[in-house]
């Protein structure tokens, strides 16, 4: 490794790679190193549903959604080769909640009441549907790897390297590494996904109050068509997504198992998961319930007030945490990355430029 990096990003998921991208967009001569205990995009990003819809439960999340929406639209226009796919959207909720639904979704969603719903979807008494715009889904691990490949000429990636210790001083942030010699940087961004309790930083991160919750998404063995779109069950915080590239549907519902460990969480679907999912499906899409037979299980970090966390962890501002996006890591990653870089620019020392690291 040549010289001392200006910024080290710990975590090479979609957020970590976008943080690195945003740093270079701000200063093309910045020195950036990205470290991950595994391969790029192999953590929570690998299991992400990758659905982006234009909504936010509170003003802060709506602002982040707006910023991310514009970022992804621009990225997809400039890089049509990336696996970002526009898709139609139908929102289902009780008619009595219409005012709240319209407040939750961005103006770009252009919600409009519809009487026809997608084939196979039932509207229980008292519920209605709206069609909406601005929805897309991505193959998140492939997207993350593509962004990393674009960054590699100017960013150093250390894969399969575990950070075993973190400490900050006037000389910089010292990272102890599993590979041997420590690394000292001007500043460090922790973007660990659900690995909040990693020994190297758990005491630093604990005061943030973030927790880790299990996430379950079931696979429905029915091939979607090119006309099928996402179906959002607003009040249940669940959705059906036509996974065209994989040839099946994905059903994500809210699982209420908290304080799980990403290193020990059982990745397999159990009978309780299937029962919970099928109960909801039988209400809204009864024909799909019995085809719900498998899926994916992992976890993600959640912030106490449902707003992603971007916080300095040390008084000198050299060490920053970014994450706890409440299961919306892909959806909000561009805005969280931009907020992270804005925080670094106001609190941390000016990063070492590339010419100074030689």
The predicted-structure confidence for 240-296, as pLDDT tens digits, reads as follows: 999 988 999 999 999 999 999 999 999 999 999 999 999 999 999 999 999 999 999
In three-state secondary structure terms, 122 is coil
Q: What pLDDT is stored for residue 346 in this prediction?
A: 85
* Cα gap 9→355, rounded to integer Å: 20
pLDDT for residue 273:
93
Give the alpha-carbon dihedral of 299, 141, 311, 151, to 10 degrees.
160
Residue 195 to residues 229, 260, 296, 299, 323, Cα–Cα distance (Å): 33, 10, 18, 10, 10
Please report which confidence band the pLDDT of residue 138 belongs to, taking 50, 70 and 90 as the band edges.
Answer: very high
Beta carbons within 8 Å of 178's beta carbon, 6+ residues apart: 37, 161, 162, 163, 164
Residue-wise burial string across 298-336, b where 16 or more C-beta atoms lie within 10 A, e elsewhere: bbbbbbeeebbbbbbbbebbbbbbbbbbbbbbbbbbbbb
d(CA 99, CA 345): 39
Give the model confidence (pLDDT) of 77-108 as tens digits.
999 999 999 999 999 999 999 999 999 999 99
User: What token pair was written down for 358?
Assistant: 């030689």
**Distance between CA 331 and CA 230 in Å, rounded?**
15
Q: Encode pLDDT of 154-206 as tens digits.
A: 999 999 999 999 999 888 999 999 999 999 999 999 999 999 999 999 999 99
Q: How far is CA 13 from CA 9, 50, 214, 289, in A?
A: 10, 13, 18, 32
**CATH code of the domain made up of 86-133+211-302:** 3.30.9.10
| Amino acid 349: pLDDT | 54
- The pLDDT score that the predictor gives to residue 5 is 80
- pLDDT at residue 3 is higher than 70: no
Sign of the torsion formed by the C-alpha atoms of 264, 147, 245 and 138: positive
Which pLDDT does position 245 carry in this prediction? 86
Report pLDDT for 352. 42
pLDDT digits (tens, 9 = 90+) for 214-239: 999 999 999 999 999 999 999 999 99
For the chain, which residues make up each domain, given as ranges? 1-83+139-209+304-358, 86-133+211-302
Residues whose CB is less than 8 angstroms from the CB of residue 274 and which lie 6 or more positions away in sequence, other chains included:
218, 292, 293
**Category of 109 on φ-ψ map: left (φ > 0), alpha (ψ -120 to 50) or beta:** alpha
- Residue ranges of alpha helices (H) inside the chain are 14-26, 59-78, 98-104, 140-151, 202-205, 271-284, 286-289, 329-347
Checking if the pLDDT of 9 tops 50, the result is: yes
Confidence of residue 14 (pLDDT cuts 50, 70, 90): very high
Residue 350 has pLDDT above 70, yes or no: no
Is the confidence at residue 2, as pLDDT, over 80?
no
Q: Are 162 and 178 within 8 A, CB to CB?
A: yes
60 pLDDT higher than 80: yes
Q: 1-83+139-209+304-358 maps to which CATH number?
A: 3.50.50.60
pLDDT tens digits for 22-57? 999 999 999 999 999 999 999 999 999 999 999 999
Q: HSE (CB half, 13 Å, CA atoms) of 266?
A: 6
Residue 112 has pLDDT above 90, yes or no: yes
Tell me which of 169 and 151 has the higher pLDDT: 151
pLDDT at 358 > cutoff 70: no
Q: What is the pLDDT at residue 347?
A: 65
Dist. CA 341–CA 337, nearest whole Å: 6
Same CATH topology for 1-83+139-209+304-358 and 86-133+211-302? no
Q: Is the pLDDT of residue 357 over 80?
A: no
């Amino acid at each position: 490794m040549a010289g001392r990096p200006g910024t080290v990003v710990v975590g090479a998921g979609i957020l970590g790679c976008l943080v690195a991208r945003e740093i270079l967009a701000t200063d093309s001569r910045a020195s950036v190193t990205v470290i991950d205990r595994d391969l790029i995009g192999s953590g929570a990003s690998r299991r992400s549903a990758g659905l982006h819809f234009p909504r936010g439960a509170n003003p802060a999340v709506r602002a982040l959604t707006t910023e991310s929406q514009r970022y992804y639209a621009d990225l997809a226009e400039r890089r049509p080769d990336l696996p970002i796919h526009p898709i139609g959207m139908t929102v289902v909720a009780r008619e009595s909640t219409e005012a709240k639904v319209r407040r939750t979704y961005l103006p770009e969603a252009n919600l409009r009441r519809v009487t026809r719903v997608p084939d196979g979807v039932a509207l229980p008494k008292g519920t209605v549907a709206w069609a909406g715009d601005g929805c897309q889904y991505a193959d998140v691990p492939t997207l993350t790897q593509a962004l990393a490949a674009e960054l590699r000429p100017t960013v150093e990636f250390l894969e399969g390297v575990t950070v075993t210790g973190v400490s900050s001083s006037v000389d910089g942030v010292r990272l102890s590494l599993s590979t041997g010699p420590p690394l000292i940087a001007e500043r460090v961004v922790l973007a660990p996904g659900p690995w909040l309790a990693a020994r190297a930083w758990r005491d630093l991160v604990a005061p943030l109050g973030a927790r880790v919750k299990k996430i379950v998404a079931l696979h429905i063995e029915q091939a979607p068509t090119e006309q099928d779109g996402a179906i959002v069950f607003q009040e249940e915080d669940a959705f059906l997504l036509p996974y065209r590239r994989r040839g099946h549907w994905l059903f994500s519902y809210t699982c209420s198992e908290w304080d799980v460990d990403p290193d020990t969480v059982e990745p397999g679907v159990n009978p309780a998961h299937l029962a919970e999912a099928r109960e909801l499906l039988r209400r809204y899409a009864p024909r799909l319930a019995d085809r719900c037979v498998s899926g994916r299980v992992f976890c993600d970090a959640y912030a106490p007030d449902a707003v992603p966390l971007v916080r300095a962890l040390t008084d000198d501002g050299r060490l920053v945490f970014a994450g706890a996006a409440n299961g919306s890591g892909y959806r909000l990653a561009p805005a969280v990355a931009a907020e992270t870089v804005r925080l670094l620019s106001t609190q941390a020392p000016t990063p070492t430029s590339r010419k100074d690291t030689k």
